[in-house]
Amino acid sequence: MNILNDISSELQQGCSPKVRSCVQQALDEGVLASEILEKGLLDGMSIVGRKFKNNEVFVPEVLIAARAMAMGTELLRPQLGADGAEKKGTVIIGTVKGDVHDIGKNIVRMMMEGKGLEVVDLGVDVSAEKFIEKAREHEAQMIACSALLTTTMREMRSVVKAVEASEMKGKVKIMVGGAPITRSFCEQIGAHCFAQDAASAADAAFEMCAINAQEGTDPKCAVMGLVPCRDHCYNEHRKIYPVKTHTSIGIPSGCLCFLSFTVLSLRP
């Protein structure tokens, strides 16, 4: 359908007014809101995500596209429930207690929303108790924690322990990410899959929310099936961000990986 192609194309260009206009036109023509979302907005954002992963577009383009998508989604929101649109999963995201950095987190949130996930952003300086409270309130399938400092990354372990000690154990996956997060650290707290960038993190969140939503699926076994991906994704990550190389301003490239995320599951 041409109008859906137009929505996707205008979103990729970041033309918010045109996206809104095309979405309204599609609604006026009787196109289901769920179809506009899937084949127009999400299709366009998915393409932006792939280009971002391949370094064909950069953070400003992602932000502009995300703004255009938000404008289109605003028009659709009242109709989506009436159309019976199925929620693809809910993620609670935030920067851990003691850390106020949020650029990487915000990009990951936008990418997740671009996959059709419902994302509840708790902002920065979020305690383990707050993550669990909101995961319970929204019946989330995943908690995504971000940290930029080595002094605050330890709070991620607090989140893991808090979930293990609560009734949410086995019900919610935990995603951790940020510049100081290493493969070794992630494995120490039970990581199963390493995503090399924000787009990959969104893909992983989408898949793991889908796994969590499958009735009768053992969460541990389902996520364990992702283990082989860990080494591959990690190796790909190292190719793109070799620790020993440096940027033009003398910072190790590995330190710029604030968009990289790791997926882990609590083992019941």
Q: Per residue in 34-82, pLDDT tens?
A: 899 989 999 999 899 899 989 999 989 998 998 999 899 889 888 876 6
Classify residue 182 by its DSSP letter: -
- 90-265: CATH topology is Rossmann fold (3.40.50)
**What is the pTM assigned to this prediction?**
0.67
pLDDT band for 29, please (50, 70, 90 cuts): very high
Of 137, 84, 144, 146, the closest CA to residue 113 belongs to 144
Residue extents of the structural domains in the chain = 2-80, 90-265
Q: Per residue in 220-259, pLDDT tens?
A: 333 333 333 333 333 433 333 333 333 233 333 333 333 4
Tell me, what amino acid is at 41?
L
Q: Per residue in 174-192, pLDDT tens?
A: 888 888 877 777 778 764 5
Tell me, what amino acid is at 129?
E
Tell me, what amino acid is at 255?
C
* 100, two tokens: 């106020």
Looking at the predicted structure, is the pLDDT value of residue 260 above 70?
no
Range 94-99 average pLDDT: 94
Q: Would you state the pLDDT for residue 227?
A: 33
Range 126-152 average pLDDT: 93
Q: Would you state the pLDDT for residue 176?
A: 83
SS3 121: strand
**CATH class name, domain 2-80:** mainly alpha
* 69, two tokens: 């998508």
Q: Would you state the pLDDT for residue 115?
A: 86
Q: Would you state the pLDDT for residue 190?
A: 66
pLDDT band for 111, please (50, 70, 90 cuts): confident
**For residues 85-118, b (16+ Cβ closer than 10 Å) or e, as one string?**
beebbbbbbbbbbbbebbebbbbbbbbbbbbbbb
Classify residue 165 by its DSSP letter: T
**Cβ contacts of 157 within 8 Å, gap of 6 or more:** 189
Q: What distances in angstroms separate CA 112 from CA 60, 68, 120, 222, 229, one per listed residue?
A: 17, 15, 11, 21, 20
Looking at the predicted structure, is the pLDDT value of residue 123 above 70?
yes
